[in-house]
Structure 1
Amino acid sequence: MTELLKLEGIVAGYGEAKVLMGIDLSLGEGQALALLGRNGTGKTTLINTIVGHTRRFAGRLHLGGRDITGLRPDQRALAGIGWVPQERNIFKSLTVEENLTAVAVPGPWNLKRIYEMFPRLLERKANMGNQLSGGEQQMLAIGRALMLNPRVLLLDEPLEGLAPIIVQELMSALQRIIRDEGMSVILVEQNARKALGITDTAIVLERGSVVHASTAQALLADGATLDGLLGVAKH
C-alpha cells in the first residue's frame, strides 16, 4: 500500500506546553485509521497538529512524499488535508449551498454527490447554517470538507452529542466514504467500537504517546485490551 501521510517524531503542543511526545504515524492511500484514547490524551492535539494549528517543537510531516512541515494551515488544506473539527466551524450566516461552494476545489466531490450522500442538505440547501440542527450541521461540515476534494480527511469526534438516528445516518455515510469511495481517513471517536467497525488500523494515545497500534479488527476482537486501554464497556 502506498504511504500517503507520515508523521515522524512529532512533539507538539500549545505555547510552552508539550502535549504530543514523539508521535510516529503512517497512513496508507485509501486506508482508514481509528485514533483512540481517553479524554485528554492528545487526540485532538494530534489532529490539530496535522492541520497546522499547534506549536511544533520537533518532528516532520509528509503528505504524498511532500514535506508539509513548514506549510500554513491554508496551504496544508490546498495540499490535501481535509478537516472536520469538533466545533464544525460552518459559516452560520451563509446558506447550506453557499457553505459547500465557498471552499470548493474541482474534483470528484461536487454538490450533486454531497446531496446524494446527505439528502437532508439538499432539502435545506437554502437554509442558513444557524437554522440547522446539530446533526445537519455535522453533515454540512463533512460535506464542506469533501468539497475541498482532500487526499486525507480528518474527523474529530463527528458523532459527539448527536441523536441515535443521526448517528446511524452519519455512520452509513462514513462507511461509504471509507469503504466505497476509498477515502483516506483519520477518525477520532469516543465510541471505540463504532470507529473500529469501519476502519482498517488503530492507534491508542496515552499522555501524548502511542501506547497501542494494531489492525482495527484485532483490537475490536480483543475486548480485554480494549477495555484496559480505554475503560470502555465490553459489550
Structure 2
Amino acid sequence: MAEELLRVEALKSGYGQAVVVQGVSLVLEKGASLALLGRNGTGKTTLLNTLVGATRRHAGRIVLDGQDISTLPSFKRAIAGIGWVPQERNIFKSLTVEENLTAVARPGPWTLARAYEMFPRLAERRRNLGNQLSGGEQQMLAVARALVLNPKLLLLDEPLEGLAPIIVEELLRSIGRVVRDEGMSAIIVEQNPKLILPITQRAVVLDRGAVVHEGDSEALLADPDTLDKWLAVAGH
C-alpha cells in the first residue's frame, strides 16, 4: 500500500468573500502524479493557489505528509515541502539563471548539476539574466527552480501555456521524466488533456469548483465521452 502524501478534505476557498473551490476532497500518494483538468474558470488555479496559501480558505483541511498545513503562511508551506510553479513563473528577472537556482536550492537529490542535465538550455545560458531568456527558457527555469527546492510535492500551473510546440515537447519530456522516472509527486494543471494524461497516473476534473470526475489517467484518455462532456475535447 503506497503511503499518503497529500490529503485535501472538503476544501472551500476563494478570494475575499467569493468562494471558488466548492468542497474539494482528494488524496495523492507519495510518488504519484495527478493531472488537474477542467475548462477555463473551473477553479484549477484557485485550488493550487489554496494549497500554497495564496487564497482565502473558508473551510476544510490540507494535510501534507502528516502535517496539517491549512493555516500556515506560504513560506512555511514551501519549507514543509511544496514546490510551486505559478502561471506567472515568478523568476528573478535581474538575477542570472545560476543565481535564480542557487538562491533557493535546498539539500537533496535535485542539485544544480542535475537541473542543468535536465534542461541543457539553462546550462548554456547560466550567465544570462532572467529577463534575457525566451518564454520557454523562463518556464524551464521556473520548473528547475522548483526542483532544486527538493520539494515533497511539485505543483505546476499550466506549465505549457503559450509556448512554441518544440518547447512544449521538450518541457513535456522533462516533466514526464521527473514524475514517471524520478517518482516526484506532482499535481499538474493543464488545459489540454491529450498532452498531460499520458505522463500522469491519476486525473481529477473540476467543474464549477467541484470534483466531477476522478480516476486513472489512462482510462480517462481512452474515454472520449467523458473528455467531451467535461472538457469538450473530443474533436481535437
Q: Which residue of 2 aligns with 1:181?
A: 182
Q: Partner amino acid for 1:174? A: I
Deviation at 1:234, TM superposition (A): 3.9
In the alignment, which residue of structure 2 is the partner of 1:64? Answer: 65
Aligned match of 1:160: 161
Aligned to 1:224: 225
Q: Counterpart of 1:134? A: 135
Q: CA deviation at 1:95?
A: 0.2
Contact kept, 8 Å, 1:11 with 1:20, in 2: the verdict is: yes
Gaps of 5+ in 1: none
CA distance in structure 2 between the aligned counterparts of 1:170 and 1:43, rounded to whole angstroms? 20
Conserved 8 A contact 1:36-1:203: yes
Other-structure match for 1:17: 18
Report 1:29-108 matches (<5 A).
Answer: 29-108=30-109
Deviation at 1:183, TM superposition (A): 0.2
- AA aligned opposite 2:79: L
Instruction: State the distance in 2 between where 1:25 and 1:76 align.
Output: 18
User: Aligned letter for 1:110?
Assistant: T
1:224–1:234: 8 Å Cα contact kept in structure 2?
no
- Mapped contact 1:120–1:136 kept (Cα < 8 A): yes
| 2:214 corresponds to | 213
1:5 is paired with a residue whose SS is strand
- Could you say what secondary structure the match of 1:8 adopts? strand
Bigger Cα displacement from structure 2, 91-100 vs 65-74: 65-74
The CA deviation at 1:125 is 0.2
Q: Deviations over 1:14-55 (max 9, x none)?
A: 011000110101100000000000000000000000000000
**TM superposition outliers: structure 1 runs of 4+ over 3 Å:** none
Q: CA RMSD in A?
A: 0.7
The answer as to 2:176 corresponding to 1:170 is: no
Q: Secondary structure at the match of 2:75?
A: helix
TM-score normalised by structure 2 residue count: 0.98
Offset from partner CA, 1:168-203 (integer Å, 9 cap, x none)? 100110110011100000000111111111000101
Normalising by structure 1, report the TM-score: 0.99
The one-letter code sitting in structure 1 at the alignment partner of 2:172 is M
Query: 1:47-72 deviations in whole A, cap 9, x for unaligned?
Result: 00000000001001100111111111
SS at 1:62 equivalent: strand
In structure 2, how many angstroms separate the alpha carbons of the residues matched to 1:233 and 1:165? 24
CA distance in 1, matches of 2:119, 2:34: 23
The structural deviation recorded for 1:224 is: 1.4
Contact 2:82–2:151, Cα closer than 8 Å, also in 1: yes
Contact 1:11 1:23 in 2 (8 A): yes
CA-CA distance at 1:228 after TM superposition = 1.1
